Amino acid sequence: MRTAVVGKNSYSPTEVDLAMQQETILTNRLFALREDSPELKGDSAMDEFMDRLTRMENEVALMRKGYNDGIERYHATKQRIPEVFLAKFFSFQDAEFLKFSKEIRKVPSLTFDESVSKEVNSVEAPVTQGEPVPDSVSSSSSVYVLKDEQVMGPYTVDQLKIFVENGDFLQDDQACFDGKNWVTVGEVPGFVE
């Protein structure tokens, strides 16, 4: 899989989709291997690897959504006047969407101590160590929401509040406010004042 991507500067969306399908198969095998092998479940190096893998998959899902949003804006712009004339005159090419679907994974954690279990279960997604989570997000910051296995957004915190009031999103839905930290909508800094 690595030899197919080393040394290339650009990739077509079809090549990216194929690579992501192969990566998904490999990742699912790793998760299954970890579940089947008790000695791997307790290994701290394996836990750290799986945490990093989960964070990277979440970032890929977020970047895919951003790429597809950009392509959607490109297509919409090409359809407007006078841009449609410029696009035809300069032979602007159509851009393809990335088609692979990558759901956000939650990092599994098991603890047998009752007091620790409550604390662990309250954290839905990993936070990268050494990077402080901000106490507030500006009202114009981009927040992405995971709903029905699709990443939606970007939204401002004010828009997010309106969507929750209208019942479009729940406070328990997953949200990303900085491209790295996945928390519930209710835990987005600045959501509850």
Burial group, residue 129, by CB count within 10 angstroms (0-12, 13-18, 19+): exposed
Domains present along the chain, CATH in parentheses = 11-108 (no CATH), 133-193 (3.30.1490.40)
Q: For tokens 């290339």, name the residue.
A: 8
Instruction: Report the C-alpha gap between 13 and 177 in whole angstroms.
Output: 26
Q: Report residue 39 as tokens.
A: 């000695």
How many other CB atoms are there within 10 angstroms of residue 64's CB atom?
20
List Cβ neighbours of 140 (8 Å cut-off, separation of 6 or more): 156
Rounded to two decimals, what is the model's pTM? Answer: 0.42
Give the pLDDT of the chain (193 residues) as one tens digit per residue. 556 556 677 777 788 778 878 888 888 888 788 778 877 766 778 788 888 888 888 888 888 888 888 888 888 888 888 888 888 888 888 888 777 655 555 555 545 454 443 443 333 333 333 344 444 444 456 788 888 777 887 888 888 888 888 888 888 888 888 777 788 888 888 887 6
